Each structure stands twice: as structure tokens, then as C-alpha cells.
Amino acid sequence: MRHRLIWLFFERYTNLFDLNKKKMLHIAPEYSFQRRLERMNTIDYLTADISKPSATVKMDITDIRYPDNTFDVIYCSHVLEHVLDDKKAMRELHRVLTNKGWAVLQVPIINLETTYEDSSITDPNERLKAFGHPEHVRCYGKQDYEQRLVDAGFNVKRIKALEFVSQEEIEKMRVSSKEDVFFCTKL
């Protein structure tokens, strides 16, 4: 569901598919995106993950071993809620993004106003109870996720699905009208 929404966002809102060459970093690549993007000759496509063997490189996003201003596009979806120091990861993503580049940094947002995290919860069963998933280390809130990105240096535009997808398309494609896209650029 969320993959279809993001693909439509890429097509309708970004320059990802224009004819200009771009260097793209895709963190924790979804297979459905990876197989399409790696075939595009205008995208220099790099996949990265801390443990997934299908990724091009092994990468800890709190310590990205690429120079400043390397990537024109960064896509990172449903990863930051797994990272102990998400603020450091956000700063690293900002650092490696080019000045004219953009990033889509998605996380699950639940019905909390502010982010809930507790680093003392390490047991997977307790994390499941506290955060809804045995590998999550926090639940992002509606009000402060965007501010965390701003604090890392990003200019953030929070874009509602209905800004680029019609209600009819939402129903037909069964995409969520409730998921906002966090479109980030450098200040």
C-alpha cells in the first residue's frame, strides 16, 4: 500500500524520472522499487542496509562512509524507528545529500502527539508491547517527527496524499490517504 503511494509521489511530485542523471541512495531497499530503479540509466542507484544481503553495500546510517554532498536523492522508508540514535542518522542523511538534492524520509506515525522512546526497553517482547514491533526502538508522534528532521538541518515539506493522488485513485489503488510524505531538502 505505502509503496504504491510513494511511487506515485516520485512520478508526480519529484524529478526522479526526468532525463537528468542523479545519484540515488536507497536505504533498506524494497524489492519492488529496487528492481525498477536499478534498470534506469539516468539513476546511479545505490542500495544500502545494515544486514540485508541484497543491498549493494552494508551501511550503518549513523555512520555513512560517503563524502558530504554525494547523493542527489535519498529514500529511506520505515528504517529510523529501528535506529537507536535516529537524530545522528538524520544528520548523516542530511550531510550526504547534495545542496540541490531531496530526500523522502518515511516513518510510521501513530496516534501519539509526540514521540515515545525508552532506551531501557531492549527485550523484543517488551518492544512489541511498547512500540508495536519487536525491533522498533520508538514510536514517532504526529507533532514532532518533522521537527526532528528540521533539527537535523532539513527543510521539510509534509505533503498529504490528496495533494498528488485523487480520492478515486486512493480507493482504486487502495493507498492510504492518511500517510503524509516527508519531502526533505537542505536549508
Gap between the Cα atoms of 46 and 42, Å rounded: 13
Q: Is 132 left (phi over 0), alpha (psi -120 to 50) or beta?
A: left
| Residue 62 within a domain | no
**pLDDT interval class at 78 (50, 70, 90):** very high
Q: What is the pLDDT of residues 149-185, one digit of tens each?
A: 999 999 999 999 999 998 898 888 887 778 899 999 9
In angstroms, the CA 80 to CA 60 distance is 11
Residue 1's pLDDT band, with cuts at 50, 70 and 90, is: low
Q: Which domain holds residue 162?
A: 2-19+72-186
pLDDT tens track for 6-44:
999 999 999 999 999 999 999 999 999 999 999 999 999
How is residue 93 written as a grid cell? 542523511
Asked if residue 93 is part of any domain, the answer here is yes
Q: State how many domains the chain has.
A: 1
